[in-house]
Structure 1
Amino acid sequence: MEISEVRQILEALLFVSERPLSLRELKELIKTDYTDMDNIENILNELKEKYANLNKPYEIKFVADGWTFATKPQYSLWIKKLFKEKSVLKLSPAALETLAIIAYKQPITRAEIDEIRGIESSGVIDTLLDRKLVKVAGRKEALGKPLLYGTTQDFLKHFGLAHLSELPLIEDMPKDVQQSDNEPEPELPFDGGNFGGDVSIDVIKKELAGAAENPAGSERENT
């Protein structure tokens, strides 16, 4: 099979898939027709560069350990308007704060989250579990073996991140980002991998920075 045909097959697979496809999955899908498995990643990177240079509203991205088509961030405003009714997942400030703590401190126990927030967090954690943004990541080797929590592949997808290593460093965050209790409830795009993750990750950055500035002083209600 010619490389040009492999390139088109990969484009077709990424186009129809509802989720990012890992390199392993893509290799498995075409291995009977194309034997140079070591070249697949090179072809994907070529496709990524190709679409990045095209004057199109979409691109190929590596998100949540997989490859996918995604709209470019500058079009997120209009796309969110189109999908507002069914594609927006609202999280309270407390939930965003807890999600930020888990993202940066994982694996972490509920007691450790409570200590950072200065308030009981079981209800918030249950909400994040229900929405598949966090998961049980094991048990800590300590008295009682408490559950450890971490983020999911869905978290990476929603925020447009390829890996957790793409989370911004805490020391790079602005200091004046604590959110007022009077501000409207922030909205989290339910499919940030397709809508572009810039706005949402900024909310996470702000919430974590607020928690870092006032680790034991939060009085937000659990939701």
Structure 2
Amino acid sequence: MTVENQQTVEGEVPPVLPEGIDIERSLEAILMVADEPMSVITLASAVSAPVKRVRAAVDALVADYDGSAGGIRRGFELREVGGGWRLYVRPEFDPVVADYVLAQNPTKLSQAALETLAVIAYKQPISRGAIASIRAVNVDSVVRTLLGRGLITEMFTDSETGAINYGTTDLLLTQLGVNSIDDLPKISPLLADGAEGFDGDVR
């Protein structure tokens, strides 16, 4: 049986690493650009490595970032969320990062960002896929921008689909000058049929 035809129990990936590959550094690079939590099987497919080897590499990265092996504890961590792995800022550094992001980014949002923010505000909690369906465009970069500005946050991960659901933050309420999302103006009168683009309950 050739390497190409062999399979692991948990995924169809070659059981032998390509020559010269550094699996931990490769996984690290992929996780740096991942927008969603990545399962071990997905990571294994990405680096063409056995699931068992990737799982061990993920554990090694977690220990490395935590400083468990005698190294320096990093300001970020590799966390398992919703059945997948993703890099996150450690909670104790959230205020520092939030202050930096808000100071470095201009306050004006693009039209696309404002439209996406409106969808999230009126339909929260809502997944990225649902936002894209409503706006009929890819919203990945816009959602990242809104997260970076601290205007929206990850509320929870759907246990069935693994999709992250987003909602607005207190910072948005402060900038809008309202006490709660319920204080936002009703949009039904502004829509042609009172529901276009927003199925279900519409404020």
TM-score range, shorter chain: 0.3 to 0.5
User: TM-score, normalization: structure 2?
Assistant: 0.42
Q: Which of the pair has more CA radius of gyration?
A: 2
User: TM-score, normalization: structure 1?
Assistant: 0.39
Larger fraction in helix? 1
